[in-house]
Each structure stands twice: as structure tokens, then as C-alpha cells.
Structure 1
């Protein structure tokens, strides 16, 4: 047992709080680490769609879990603002650690003093505070009620003494939205685990190996869900600017649209639909560069790619600039024009891959566990 985990015996009776629990998700990866740091601690969420995920923990659900509203996050969000205030918990807790990207930071547990509530913020609710980044915030209904919900959200944030943000970019958003300071604790990335195999090609299935072998020797990779804000069309544009083939890995509602763009592109564009984790890691290793156009609060995928030595071409804003070091582990793009993209790709693919690989040790999950443990237990 690590020193951090052994210290939890003196931490008292704690509670972990999370918006909702799904089978897959970046915020769930953070909750996974919380659960490792504080074994046996109760976990509370609005509902739990992964009942086998946290064995060894008592997982509590809100009353929303017993209603059809759990099937619609859009409907659940305004209701959750009320539910988090009326939890009706019977157990007494000494502290609480909250994972919040909507309204979980509103959670009130009467036994927990204000200075023992710790909130790890993935982002203040994007559909309220940055609706241009979240299509839910662009509907007429949301725009009508957003001012009242922003006022409530800011008011509830004043109750919390301790905030941590997953990036300096989000910390600035917390300051702008809630007028509260937050320390920065970058989210956990499996850097050491990714770097353990000699090659991920040896970890994939025979069918996946045939797919990988069928790809060009040199290509640019775009990997994400096929949804608008990921801007995968810009990956194709980067391929055309640099003359390199493109591989798009993922799945989502824009697949047909992306395939239509691919058919008209001046370079070959290959699709790898729903790759396994192992296949995705093998794609990272094989790519000349990962092109990452999305404006993200942090961006786990670029760190994963860099952990395997693959440089990243990213925009020059958002959380990604905290991990992608221009000229060291990738290149930043301000304008996605052919001339700028050609130069950015050429600079990226010329970087030393061993240097790229070494640049992301500070994002390993072990450091996250150290920082969270010190924050909660040492504060």
C-alpha cells in the first residue's frame, strides 16, 4: 500500500461525490483515482450506470435514479440543482470530495463543515457559462433560464472553501464565472502504463493488426468522437496542407459527413471505427503526429499520444497548451490555413520522439494521487 493510501486510515469518514457514473468517461477516470486514494469510502452520484465499477465501495444514488429523468441529462441538469441540496443522507461524514462538471458542487451534507468540502472542477457547467462550446446552451429554452441559473450557480460556489481545477484554463473560467480562486491539479493520465509495453502493436488482436498493417507508413491521426466541436475536418485539412494521408479513429454522428469530406480530399483518408484502447495506442505509436483541433478544458488524448512519443499539432488556446510544449512536444496553431498547417506539421514530425515521450511524466496518475491526497488530507 502506498504512503498516500495508508494515511487514509486517519482521514475520518469521507464521501466522494460525482455527477453521474457511466461506463466510459474522463470524469469517471478521475473518480476511479479518488476511489483508489480513499478505499472503502462511500460514493454518491445522481445515478449509477456502471454498478460493477466500484466494488468495495458503497455507492449511493439520488432519488433521480428512480425516475425516467435519468435517461435525459438535459432534463436532469436543472432538476439536479434541487436534488443536490436535499440529499437526505442518514450517515454522518467528516469530509467530502466532489467531482463536478455541472451542479455536483452544490451538494450539501449537513455533517460536513464548509472547510472540509473539496471540489475538483472539470469545468463550471459549460452550457451555462460558455454556451458557444456546448450546444445545449444555445437552445432558446436554456438561454431564457440561463441568467437565473448562473446567479444560483455562482451563489452556491461561495459555500466551498477549497477548489481545484483540472487546468489553468479552467481555473480562469472558475474565477470569471464564480469569482473564486482554484489551485490546478491536472487530471490523471496513464503515462507509466502506456509506456510499459515495448510496442502496442504486440497488444492488439489479429484483426486489428491487419487493419493497422493496411494503413500508410506515414499518416496524421485524428482521434475523438465524431461530433462537431472536435473539428475533425481540420485534421483532413492538415493532411491536405502537408501532403500526408490521414487516419480518423473514433465514432459518432458526423461519420457520414466526414466520409463525404474524405471522398473529396486530395489525400487518402482512412477510418478506424470504434478502436479498442490497445488499437488506439498502437495508432498513436504509428502516427507521424496527432492533430488535435478541439478546444478542450485539458485534453487527455494529446498527453496519451505524447507519452508514446507522438508529437501533437494543437490549437494555441485551451488546456492543451499546458501539456503540448511548442517546439518540444508539438506545435501550436493559431490559424488553420494551409500555409500555417504545412509548417506546423513539418515542425512537429521533425521533433525528437524520445524528448516528446519524456515531456509528459508530470501528468502520470501517480502524481495526481499524490496531489489529491495532500490537498484533502493535508489541508
Structure 2
């Protein structure tokens, strides 16, 4: 965690001198681990600061919560988010309280508006010291509502509206008490969220599905720019034969529907490997203890995940995702995807070419539908999967976001 009043240094901005560089503030919900949202944040920082793009001066990363541990490193020791880690992290007063950026972050949901208002004040102070030219937020929770200083455009890359108090509340409510809490929080926060969304100059959605959610929730139109996949790392291995198992995993939370994928594999007579950690893991281990062919791998590193994608017959994607970068990573390794016909998968999977869809069916009948789709996906050409994945390169993301952000700076 960095002193919020520390100015960005020339070294942190890649050593580019000169007063003409646009001053840009990044805003992100929280810096508490590295997942898909943080990968996008790092790429946004690259587009803002790199000399071949905007060559801007990043004044800092404003965030409600920061656990102070940084974004970590890949298996080879390369930092996951070197630009984000190098710049000042301006953290809300709420996020600096003990445990607030840890176990209390989710229960503090009703206080997010106050934390965001605090960030708005800090942006105003930074602007008063030296004018800002652009605010760029990356949000799946509340910081889309940050108030940019007067006259400063605000571009929001929206991973999703607040799904857990909105259209997908039931996916997160694992018991009646949580359902009641989310219902009450939604009644308080959704009207504020809708009003706050008017402060955004331009929305960017990570999929057509999320563009539709932004339209439904906020009455706003969006550009669609898909998140970047690490296609240079996730690559096929032509010499590695497929091992015939099905793969599922990631964050093992209720909305991921991992149990449906396991049931589908058992019905199809396929061995299934489950990777990742999360609140559902203990219950899944208990439920499938002794089931032949079900293997729980726990948390796996990037190299191990790449090998799994290279050898799996199919990657199962039973949940509704905003986009779902793992599905693209699987295809980049030549692995077809079995996905629910809903959500971001409609952008990332091509039926009969790079995978197979099953209809958005009730959970009781989903395993049979997934099993049938898995059989269809097995016939997909690995080279077609790879070609399709190459549409989602970091360079493609950079170019599209550069155009949008340059337009905002130019008053478009």
C-alpha cells in the first residue's frame, strides 16, 4: 500500500519526460488478488502509459480496498502486473481500516458508496494540484460510480454491473440469510448505482452479454472490447496426445456450477479433473469422495494449467460468465469448450467449430445436456480452436482501447 499523497515518479512512468503527456487516473474496485479483472487493469495501464499508445502519465491507481500484497508473479517469476504494482495505490479510508481489505471486504458492501465518494474527493484533490485529463475505471462492483473532476472524461471498462445484487443474485445467495441480505442491499444500492452510472462518459463492455446488461440496468450503450488472453503462453503442443479426460475448474464458488460438470462427466463415463480452490471445494470433495474418475487437483500454476488444457478432451464451462477468459485460454491450447448457451461464452465459443453449447436448462437436467454437448465437442479441430483464440490477443485489446481512450481525450 502506497502513501495516497505520493506523486507518480518519472521512473514509474517509464522515464518519459515532458509536460504534454496526458495525466490519467486509473480506478479499480479492489486490489486483493489477481484474476481476470486485474489482468485487464494491467493492460489498461499499459495502453495509458506505453509510448506506442497514449504515452500518458499515470497519477495512480485509486481503489476502495488493497490488501497490500501486490499482484504476484507468474510461474517463471515475471510480475503479473508490473505497471499497477509500480504506481501509487490511492486507497479509500474504509479500505485502510483493519481487516477491511481482507475478510471484511464483502460484508462491507453497504459502505461501498462512501468508499467511492472518498475516492472521488481524492481525485478532486489530485486535480486541484495538477489537472487530470482522463479517468479510466475498471469495475464489476462500485467504482464505476466515481465522480471524475468537472470537465474530465470518465471511461468505464465494465466487467459487469453488480450481479450479486441484481440479475444473478440467486447464483450468489447460498442460504436464506444471504438471500435476504443481498435483497436488502440491492434495494438500497441499485438506485444509487443507476444514478451513479450517469457520471460515466463512455462505457466499454467485455462482451455482448454485458453490453446488454449495461443497457438493461443503466439504460446506456457500450462499446464491446473483449478482454485479452495470454495467447502467446497458452499454446497447443502438437506432440501431446489428448488424454480423454474432461476438465473443469477455476474459482470453485456456487455460481460456477462445478457440481453439474462433475455429474455430466460421470454420466458420460468420462474421467474429470477439477482444478482450483473456493468455498465449494470442501463440499465437492465430500460429495464425490470415492467416485472413480473424479480427481481434485487443488490450485494449479500457469504451467500446470497449460498442460491440462493441452491434454483435456474438453473444457466444461457450465456457468454463466460475463466473458470467461479461461474458455479462450483452453481454445488457445487447442481444447474445445462445452458451454452454457448464455453469457459471454456466446462471444468466445463457435458452435461445432471450437466447442458445443448446451441450452440454458434447469440444474436438474443440465448434466445430461452437458454430457451430450461434450460428445459433440470432442470432434472439434484443435487448429480451429487455436485460430479462433487468436482473435483475443493483448494486441487486439490494446488497439481497440487506444482508439476509445484517445477519442475521450480528444473530446469525442
TM (norm. structure 2) is 0.80
1:159 aligns with 2:189: no
Deviation, 1:75, is 3.5
1:313 aligns with 2:338: yes
Q: 1:292 to 1:269 in 2, by over 3 A?
A: same
Q: 1:162 to 1:349 in 2, by over 3 A?
A: same
1:85 aligns with 2:117: yes
Deviation, 1:200, is 11
Matching residue of 1:378 = 407
Aligned partners of 1:154 and 1:370: how far apart in 2? 30
Deviation, 1:125, is 0.9
1:132 aligns with 2:170: yes
2:391 to 355, 362, 365: 362
Aligned partners of 2:251 and 2:323: how far apart in 1? 16
**RMSD between aligned alpha carbons?**
2.6
Q: Secondary structure of 2:156's partner?
A: strand
Matching residue of 2:101 = 70
What per-residue deviation string (whole Å, max 9, x for no partner) do you get for residues 17-73 of structure 1?
011112322111111111212235121111322454434322211112321333312
* Displaced runs of 4 or more, over 4 A: 8-11, 50-53, 197-201, 335-339
Q: 1:10 to 1:219 in 2, by over 3 A?
A: farther
The runs of 5 or more residues in structure 2 that have no matched partner are: 1-15, 50-56, 72-83
What per-residue deviation string (whole Å, max 9, x for no partner) do you get for residues 204-243 of structure 1?
xxxxxxxxx9xx9320111222222211122222212322
Matching residue of 1:185 = 225
Aligned partners of 1:199 and 1:19: how far apart in 2? 40
Q: Secondary structure of 2:356's partner?
A: strand
Aligned partners of 1:190 and 1:254: how far apart in 2? 27
1:44 aligns with 2:62: yes
Matching residue of 1:232 = 258
Q: 1:65 to 1:149 in 2, by over 3 A?
A: closer
Aligned partners of 1:9 and 1:194: how far apart in 2? 40
Aligned partners of 1:188 and 1:182: how far apart in 2? 18
The runs of 5 or more residues in structure 1 that have no matched partner are: 1-5, 202-212
Aligned partners of 2:375 and 2:141: how far apart in 1? 40
What per-residue deviation string (whole Å, max 9, x for no partner) do you get for residues 139-167 of structure 1?
32332342232111111111222001111
What per-residue deviation string (whole Å, max 9, x for no partner) do you get for residues 242-274 of structure 1?
221111111223233323443464x51112111
TM (norm. structure 1) is 0.86
**8 Å Cα contact 1:200-1:282 kept in structure 2:** no
Moved more, 131-140 or 99-108: 131-140
**8 Å Cα contact 1:77-1:102 kept in structure 2:** no
Instruction: Output aligned runs, 1:1-379, within 5 Å.
Output: 12-39=22-49, 40-41=57-58, 42-50=60-68, 52-53=70-71, 54-68=84-98, 69-71=100-102, 72-87=104-119, 88-89=121-122, 90-92=125-127, 93-113=132-152, 116-130=153-167, 131-135=169-173, 138-195=178-235, 198=237, 217-263=243-289, 265=291, 267-334=292-359, 335=361, 336=365, 340-379=369-408
**8 Å Cα contact 1:94-1:111 kept in structure 2:** no
Aligned partners of 1:339 and 1:179: how far apart in 2? 37
What per-residue deviation string (whole Å, max 9, x for no partner) do you get for residues 309-368 of structure 1?
000111111111210111010000114556544432221111111111111111111111
**8 Å Cα contact 1:48-1:65 kept in structure 2:** yes
What per-residue deviation string (whole Å, max 9, x for no partner) do you get for residues 70-128 of structure 1?
33122333222123224332222111000111110111132553xx1101111111122
Matching residue of 1:3 = none
Q: 1:146 to 1:36 in 2, by over 3 A?
A: same
Moved more, 22-31 or 97-106: 22-31
Moved more, 29-38 or 297-306: 29-38
Q: Secondary structure of 2:30's partner?
A: coil
Deviation, 1:138, is 4.6
